Amino acid sequence: MLAVPASSRPTPDNLAPPRGPHVVFLVRLVSFWCLGFLIVALVPSVERVAIRGTLATLLPVLRAAFADVRQVVNQVSANGVTLEIVSDCTPLVGIVLLSGAILAYPSSAPLKLVGLAAGWAVLWIYDIARITALIVVLARWPGAFDLTHIYLWQTCTIAVVVGLFLLWTRLVSRGAPA
């Protein structure tokens, strides 16, 4: 009978998946995030375009949903509520987070481009829905604004980014050679 040395017996630690690949992914991910936030900070036109684009897509939605919608520079009034559209109101943060994850993940360039294009579009739609929901909450339940705002801005943005990334990894694993 062959004696198995204690060090090679299966224990929870040596049954665990290896940590290495995840650390490589994590390092690439954080690097891409830093790069993304640096680009946003150092190229002010990115932020300006995002704010202008958000306003351009938000206004038709608000006009369809509410009466008396007005815009003064970056401020939007609808449903008796006035909001100023700043950088955090745009989908930029979600776009940086998702783009970092897709770029850091090992896959082919065409699949990455598909993921980026589809992900950016979904994040943009989510952002418009988020601002519209915030206007409704601010008008009807102002006491719930803080909770709704942090829930939609941080929790749901991360959830949408993670959800999109998971969907995209499924696409990548289907397209990967066996």
When binding is defined by CB under 8 A, the residue of 30, 49, 86, 117 that contacts another protein is 30
Residue with the two structure tokens 């970092």: 100
Closest by CA to 81, choosing from 158, 139, 6, 157, is: 139
Examine residue 142 and tell whether it contacts another protein (CB under 8 A): no
Distance of alpha carbon 82 from the chain centroid = 25
Examine residue 22 and tell whether it contacts another protein (CB under 8 A): yes
Of residues 144 through 163, those in contact with another protein by CB under 8 A are 146-147, 149-151, 153-155, 157-159, 162-163
Gap between the Cα atoms of 155 and 84, Å rounded: 21
Gap between the Cα atoms of 59 and 54, Å rounded: 8
Q: Give contact residues for another protein (rule: CB under 8 A).
A: 2, 8, 12, 16-26, 29-30, 33-34, 37-38, 40-42, 93, 97, 100, 105-107, 146-147, 149-151, 153-155, 157-159, 162-163, 166, 169-170, 173, 176
